[in-house]
Structure formats: C-alpha cells, structure tokens
Amino acid sequence: MLGRDLQDALAGREVTALGRADLDVTDASATRDAVAGHDVVINAAAYTKVDDAESHEDDAYAVNATGAANLASAASLAGARLVQVSTDYVFDGSATSPYAEDEPYGPISAYGRTKAAGERMALEANPGATFVVRTAWLYGAHGPNFAKTMLKLAESKDTWAVVDDQVGQPTWTGDLARQIVTMIDADAPAGIYHGTNGGQVSWYGFARAVLEEAGLDPERITTTDSSAFVRPAPRPAYSVLGHEAWNRAGVAPMRDWRDALRAASAEGVLDA
C-alpha cells in the first residue's frame, strides 16, 4: 500500500521503485548496488505478518532488522538520506497518553522486537541522515487492510463484532506518502517522527466510520473485546503516537484520521 502511494507522491521525479522480486534487502551486496547513485532511500519493505513472526522471528529479523541495517549502510556509503518506516509496535501499548518520539522501546511481540532492532541499526549505520517514521493502522487503495475488510464483511453479514478495547490512529497511506515527501523536501532534521493521522479511535469506532462513509448502517457492528480474538502475537492496547517532532521541524503534522478517511473514501480508495 505505502510503496505504491509513494510512487504516486513522487510522480514527476526520477524514482527507482523495487519490489521484493527486484531486491532482497537481506543481501548486503545487492543492496549496496541498488542504492548507489541515489540521494534518498525510502524503506517500505517489512515482514508484517505479526502473528507468523512469533514462530518465525529469525525470518522477521532478517527483513526488519538486517534489511534495515543493510539499507542504512548502503545509504551511508552513497551519501544518501534513509527513511526507515517503522511501527507503533515498538511500544508496549500500556500508555494512557500519546507516545513521544523519544519514549523508550518496550515491544511485546516478535514483530515489535524486530522493528525496534531495525530502528536502532538504521540510526547507527547512517547517523545524521536516517529518518525513522513510525506509523500504524494503515489502510489504502493497494492491498488488503482493515477498512476494506469491513466493507467486504458488509456484503456477506448482517452484523459482526469488532474490538473496542484497542485504541489507535487509522492512517491513510496516501497521507503518509505525501508526509514523507514533504519531510524530505523540507530538509527536516534527521531523527524519529510519528507518521500517523491525528486524533484517536478504537477499531470499533473506526469500523463504524468506514461504514458511515460508504453510506451503510454502522449499527450493524457490535462491540467485543480482545479476549474474543486470541492470536499468537499480543496487540498493543494503546497505539496513539505524539507528533511533536513535526512541529519542531517546522512541518505540519498529518490531519485528523476522520478527515483523512472522508477524503480517501471520496477518492474511491476503499472501493473493491
């Protein structure tokens, strides 16, 4: 989702877009060759199967940590800036107010541990030129996501339940892509940023909003809690990220999640 939207956000510029078949980020030599000659590298590659990572942590680490380190080292050699896309899962989700960019790591899952390691390694391998952009709850036009799943369920079910005890920030990949490009163009200082839409809502509230935007009855969705959906990897209960780094850099934070959803829906982003 993010890679495709980044290409759209960078339209008209000289861009090399590489998918998994084009570049294995765990191959240090291939990564150096691919990065050579570029001035900015955006790493939107990740092992994102959160539950699978619990039993395949080495595989997740290879992509999320070693891959990030390889790209950072290659960027350093090329004199390039690196944007390392990361996640709210580097935190434990026990907070009650938005996580600051400098909050200590506290991952509670294999996925979170490997992404936290990738952040550290990228920052160390390309110091002064690495931008960690943490994001969460992504939805967009290109690929499966929660919002599209809700609309699919609406086609086959009269009612269904969604958890109301996990809170976060639904984030449109189109907005995130444009924010990353704005950050690069603004020559913002390197460091950690939180790339999420503003505000906060539960998955239940987000699901209702998705149906509302589609002109469907949100009362079809009922509430439940996380105990009804036991999965291998624990999910952070609170995934709200603070946005002070944008203000310090002179870049406006991303808009409220509800405004973004309204705009994305109007553009047909959630259409099947």
- Tell me the catalytic residues: 111
φ, ψ (nearest 5 deg) of residue 38: -105, 150
Residues 6+ apart with CB under 8 A from 200: 167, 168, 169, 240, 257
**Identity of residue 19:** G
Alpha carbons 31 and 28: distance in angstroms, whole number: 5
**Residue 129: CB atoms within 10 Å:** 17
Count of all residues that appear for the chain in the document: 272
Alpha carbons 140 and 37: distance in angstroms, whole number: 30
Strands 81-87 and 40-43, bridge-based pairing: parallel
Q: Alpha helices of 56-162 — where are they, by DSSP H?
A: 57-61, 67-78, 110-125, 146-156
**Identity of residue 127:** P
Q: 67 and 28 in contact (C-beta within 8 Å)?
A: no
Residue burial 172-196, b: 16+ Cβ < 10 Å; e: rest: bbbbbbbbbbebbeeebebebbbbb
Q: Helix crossing, 257-266 with 203-213: angle to 10°?
A: 30
DSSP state of 191: E
Compute the half-sphere exposure of residue 125: CA atoms within 13 Å on the CB side of its CA.
27
